[in-house]
Amino acid sequence: MKLAPESCGEAPGRGRLKGRRILVVGGGQDTRGLDDPPIGNGRAMSILFSREGAMVAVADRIRESAEATVRAAARDGVFAMTANVANPDEVLTMVSSAHERLLGIDGLVYNVGIGVGDPWLAGATADSWDKVFAVNLRGAMLTLKAALPVMEEGSSIVLISSIASMKPGSRLPAYDASKAALGGLMRHAGIEGERRGIRVNIVAPGLMDTSIGRAATQGRPGRAKTAVPLGRQGTGWETAYATLFLLSDEAAYITGQILAVDGGMTALR
């Protein structure tokens, strides 16, 4: 099946985010040791937002990964930052530094998520549960708490969740529960932001052909045989374009919503 230029990251920029100042939390990429990994969601988003005219702060736990994204973007106004979202002090520093260097923030993406521990409830432990929630949910809360007061009127926030928040499948209860809980956080942040026109939405990717996705398939080979209505796994670029839409003024009347980017899995299967 031939993919559209947008699905491959080959479409030209159209100025859809011209003049915007966006912080991408989780803008690096975990290559999982692959020699030629497909692009991940965070890296694709950072590159695409820059291509569409935005200044972009690329934050990641691993500095080298964020810097690789900056090199791949190859544009002015894109810079790397280091932050571990499990550390509250580092979250505060990340937001304040991005705000200072960008001269304001009017776009924020939280693209961080981990799944650790053995599968099923039998494999869950208190420590692994707390570790997942500290990154997937508490880190998102801390980021929103720091960012909302300093964001401009009419800003947009997008949290990257997963269709694991909507239907079972990952077999990791802490991952599923933490991603589902992002919906409640998103709605609350939407209420807090509404008086200043700050929109808050979620993008929920399905089975994506990323390095993390390929690692998941190695651990659970049946994942590759999942019947996706559109007949294939998605790309990081397709997550990026959905997020771009919600950040842009094209989505100016959309808030409090979950957009599944899943080839029809949640609606048709």
How many alpha carbons fall within 13 Å on the CB side of residue 241?
17
pLDDT of 222 higher than 90: no
Q: What is the pLDDT of residue 198?
A: 98
Contact (CB, 8 A) for 105 and 198: no
Task: Produce one character per residue of 206-218: b if its CB has 16 or more CB atoms within 10 Å, e if not.
Answer: bbbbbbbbbebbe
Give the tokens for residue 30. 């975990």
Contact (CB, 8 A) for 6 and 241: yes
Q: How confident is the prediction for the chain on average, in pLDDT?
A: 95
What average pLDDT score do residues 101-129 get?
Answer: 96
Greater pLDDT, 212 or 65: 65
Sorted by where each begins, the domain ranges of the chain are 17-268
pLDDT band with cut points at 50, 70 and 90 for residue 218: confident
Phi, psi dihedrals of residue 197, rounded to the nearest 5°? 70, 25
pLDDT of 225 higher than 80: no
How many alpha carbons fall within 13 Å on the CB side of residue 23?
37
Question: Tell me: domain 17-268, CATH 3.30.70.1290, correct?
Answer: no
Greater pLDDT, 142 or 1: 142
Query: Does residue 175 have an active-site annotation?
Result: yes
pLDDT of 269 higher than 80: yes
Determine which of 61-75, 160-174, 181-195, 247-261 has the lowest per-residue pLDDT on average.
Answer: 160-174
- pLDDT, one tens digit per residue, over 151-175 is 999 999 999 999 999 998 789 999 9
110, 175, 241, 253: the active-site residue: 175
pLDDT band with cut points at 50, 70 and 90 for residue 223: confident
Q: What is the pLDDT of residue 221?
A: 75
**Burial bucket for residue 21 (CB in 10 Å: 0-12, 13-18, 19+):** buried
- pLDDT, one tens digit per residue, over 3-16 is 999 999 999 999 99
In the chain, % of residues over pLDDT 90: 87
Compute the distance between CA of residue 199 and CA of residue 192 in angstroms, rounded to an integer. Answer: 10
Q: What is the pLDDT of residue 23?
A: 99
Give the tokens for residue 67. 């810097």
Q: What is the pLDDT of residue 17?
A: 98
- The string of DSSP letters for 27-57 reads -S---TT-SSPPPPHHHHHHHHHHHTT-EEE
